[in-house]
Amino acid sequence: MAETHTLKAEAREKGSKGAVRSLRRAGRVPAVIYGDKKSPELIDISYKDVSSLYQTGTFMSHVLDVEIGSKKERVIPRDVQFEPVRDFIIHIDFLRLGKNATITVDVPVHFHNHDASPGIKGGGVLNIVRHQVELACPADSIPEQLDIDLTGYEMGDSIHISAVKLPEKVAPTITDRDFTIATIAAPAAVISAEAGAEADADAEEKPEGEEAAADEETSSGKEE
């Protein structure tokens, strides 16, 4: 399961744009906690702490414990806003998680044992259709990642969600089909060579047909 991280925060009052800019200059990120049928709560947190977690690549699928003084809120990030020019975090929305909460999250897919795939060893290419899969799961059972073992997959094989072992009570949000996560595709060079061979074969067959037609005309002339 995904590890739960802790962030220390401070409560803040709703202020002017100038006050918010002052917070950012002081190395703080304004944020809000909402949900669970409670009033929104304004907070600010250390930019350094948030940036470090965000750069892990799994920030949006991690449950966090936000400590505000002596109080602790269990949350998950729902939106991160960036400064458009300098690309740094300027605001975060956190969803408050109640007891027994079920949420939807995008969980990254990781592939293992490439060398044990006959298709890849034979020159095939792992074509990833979905780098993440949206799952519905209890807040305390969010998978860190989905692991797919490539052992035994041949060129032309498809890997579907049914091939992934999911934790109990965790399910994909797409339920009407066994959707594809990846395929073992033939390399472009092989496809081009096969297409070229087919074209050559067609070209060779055409003169034979024309020659046969010419022979028929010659035979007809002789008979006349």
Span 105-121, pLDDT tens digits: 999 999 999 999 999 99
**Mean pLDDT across the stretch 24-32?**
95
pLDDT digits (tens, 9 = 90+) for 124-140: 999 999 999 999 999 88
Verdict on whether the full-model pTM lies above 0.75: no
Kindly indicate the confidence band of residue 199, based on its pLDDT and cuts at 50, 70 and 90.
Answer: low
Q: What is the CA radius of gyration of the chain?
A: 29
pLDDT of residue 214: 47
Name the CA dihedral angle for 23, 24, 28, 34, rounded to a multiple of 10 degrees.
Answer: 80
pLDDT at residue 127 in the model: 94
Convert the pLDDT of each residue in 139-151 to its tens digit: 888 888 999 999 9
